[in-house]
């Protein structure tokens, strides 16, 4: 018998319901923590916080400095800073002497788990089934299934909220020609997001191909190279980009990841934004220069006694089609973009470091679809406060985290803008300045037109303003 969904009392709704508990919504939860009169809760179907577990390769680091934690760039006095995490672990002096700007990924993951385990209002093992706007109650209804430790349905529930924040993250992207192989059982074609779970099996393959020229592809290739016998590496590294290029990391180049550039990008016409984004791939899809150096050093070390390592690195190539050879081998049909030439490559395992795409929420938000205003290509329109532009009949707001690259630019998925965006959202849903934000963040002046002065925070989203009762979150 299917359990009935009990309705919680709509007369005590949440002010904010967050869907998804990744770093971005965790940042929002941490910045909202001191706001005593805010009723807020977050839901995620995972049993606990986890951040790209398949890519926590030993020694890999973040590509942003540690100041890009969940809160510091907005509130360095918060108890949820990375430095305070180190203090609770008696590790401030080791970190001080390590002189690290870029911390290990595993350390960032541990820091986020520490925050998630100590904050209140985070509900793991909750699968969100549907979200609706109830015009009679002037609230969002969120139906969820509570899961048991084995991930099976345990109970049904419903929450009510005045505002939503979607932080459902991104999903691994598999190019169309390789999807049938990636989905087929027994064929060693997998996304780099699952690399560590299958690393031993991949390393045991006779010949391995890595596809993708970004940081993940470089880290996977380096890890495989270091663990293959010298002279018998049998590795191929292929990339669509014209080079295995370093990430743009100049000081002024990094100002593309400031609120100033985000504001500028939003003012550009839609066709200009769409044309600009692919040209900026080196801002966020290049390789950290330390990783490039480590790869070259390892290749060079293997050539010290003469001969070349059995490793082929070819940029400017894309996979046209792919298929099986026998029961487990894979044949890749390649085309070189600049040469216009074609060839075939037979391999025993493929790791796809082909990036991520914004996770589709069509099913989750199906009931809200008629209210969502879209651009000329059908993408949701998103305003300056990171809200979906909805029909005026919807009085609540739906904010998004890392789903607005097409409107806000390359900084949308960047950890360095996480705290700022969370503060913008928090100020908007409360209708007041909970966290003051700087008027200027870059030396670069983007565009000839002066940037308009921001409206007072208490005018932001005034149509959603309300008096927040001093009560604890419900769930």
- CA–CA distance from 331 to each of 129, 313, 326, 343, 369 (Å)? 40, 17, 10, 10, 41
Q: What is the CATH number of domain 14-169+359-464?
A: 3.50.50.60
Q: What is the pLDDT of residue 455?
A: 53
Answer yes or no: are the C-beta atoms of 213 and 245 closer than 8 Å: yes
Task: Give the per-residue pLDDT at 452.
Answer: 62
Q: Is there a shared CATH topology between the 14-169+359-464 domain and the 172-247+285-355 domain?
A: yes
Two tokens at 234? 């049998």
Domains of the chain, residue spans: 14-169+359-464, 172-247+285-355
pLDDT at 451: 67
* pLDDT of the residue at 5: 52
If phi over 0 gives left and psi between -120 and 50 gives alpha, with beta otherwise, what is residue 207?
A: beta
Contact 168, 20 (CB under 8 A): yes
Domain spanning 172-247+285-355: CATH superfamily = FAD/NAD(P)-binding domain (3.50.50.60)
DSSP E strand stretches across 86-214: 122-123, 126-134, 139-147, 153-166, 170-172, 189-191, 208-211
Contact 351, 211 (CB under 8 A): yes
Q: Which pLDDT value is given to residue 363?
A: 80
Query: How far apart (Å, rounded) are the C-alpha atoms in residues 406 and 7?
Result: 37
Residue 161 CA to residue 40 CA, distance in Å, equals: 9
pLDDT tens, N- to C-terminus, the chain (475 residues): 344 554 456 779 999 999 999 999 999 999 999 999 999 999 999 999 999 999 999 999 999 999 999 999 999 999 999 999 999 999 999 999 999 999 999 999 999 999 999 999 999 999 999 999 999 999 999 999 999 998 899 999 999 999 999 999 899 999 999 999 999 888 899 999 999 999 999 999 999 999 999 999 999 999 999 999 999 999 999 999 999 999 998 999 999 999 999 999 999 999 999 999 999 988 888 999 999 999 999 999 999 998 999 999 999 999 999 999 988 899 999 999 999 999 999 999 999 999 999 887 778 889 999 999 999 999 999 999 999 999 999 999 999 999 999 999 999 999 999 999 999 999 999 999 999 999 999 999 999 977 665 554 444 443 343 333 333 333 3
């Amino acid at each position: 018998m299917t359990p009935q969904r009990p309705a919680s009392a709509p007369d005590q709704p949440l002010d904010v319901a967050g869907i998804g508990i990744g770093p971005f919504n965790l940042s929002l939860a941490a910045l909202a923590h001191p706001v005593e009169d805010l009723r807020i809760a977050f839901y995620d179907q995972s049993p606990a916080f986890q951040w790209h577990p398949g890519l926590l390769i030993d020694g890999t680091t973040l590509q942003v400095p540690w100041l890009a934690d969940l809160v510091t760039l907005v509130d360095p006095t918060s108890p949820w800073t990375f430095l305070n995490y180190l203090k609770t672990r008696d590790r401030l002096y080791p970190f001080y002497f390590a002189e690290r700007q870029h911390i290990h990924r595993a350390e960032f993951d541990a820091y986020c788990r520490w925050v998630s385990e100590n904050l209140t209002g985070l509900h793991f093992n909750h699968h969100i089934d549907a979200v609706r706007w109830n015009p009679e109650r002037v609230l969002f209804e969120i139906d969820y299934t509570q899961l048991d430790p084995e991930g099976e349905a345990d109970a049904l529930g419903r929450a009510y909220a005045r505002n939503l924040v979607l932080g459902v993250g991104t999903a691994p992207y598999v190019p169309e020609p390789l999807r049938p192989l990636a989905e087929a059982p027994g064929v060693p074609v997998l996304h780099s997001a699952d690399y560590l779970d299958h690393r031993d099996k991949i390393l045991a393959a006779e010949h391995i191909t890595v596809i993708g020229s970004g940081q993940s592809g470089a880290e996977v290739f380096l890890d495989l190279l270091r663990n293959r016998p010298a002279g018998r590496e049998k590795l191929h590294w292929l990339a669509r980009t014209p080079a295995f290029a370093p990430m743009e990391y100049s000081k002024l180049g990094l100002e593309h990841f400031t609120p100033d550039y985000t504001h500028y990008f939003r003012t550009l016409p839609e066709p200009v934004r769409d044309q600009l984004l692919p040209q900026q791939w080196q801002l966020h899809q290049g390789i950290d220069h330390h990783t490039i150096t480590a790869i070259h050093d390892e290749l060079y070390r293997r050539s010290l006694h003469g001969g070349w390592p059995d490793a082929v690195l070819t940029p400017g190539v894309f996979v046209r089609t792919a298929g099986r050879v026998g029961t487990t081998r894979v044949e890749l049909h390649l085309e070189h973009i600049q040469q216009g030439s074609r060839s075939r490559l037979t391999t025993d395992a493929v790791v796809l470091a082909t990036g991520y795409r914004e996770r589709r929420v069509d099913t989750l938000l199906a009931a809200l679809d008629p209210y969502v205003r879209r651009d000329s290509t059908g993408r949701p329109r998103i305003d300056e406060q990171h809200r979906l532009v909805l029909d005026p009949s919807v009085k609540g707001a739906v904010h998004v985290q890392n789903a607005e690259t097409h409107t806000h630019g390359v900084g949308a998925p960047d950890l360095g803008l996480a705290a700022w965006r969370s503060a913008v959202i928090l100020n908007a849903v409360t209708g007041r300045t909970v966290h003051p934000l700087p008027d200027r963040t870059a030396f670069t002046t983007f565009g000839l037109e002066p940037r308009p002065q921001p409206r007072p925070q208490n005018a932001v989203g005034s149509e959603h303003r309300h008096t927040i009762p001093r009560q604890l979150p419900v769930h």
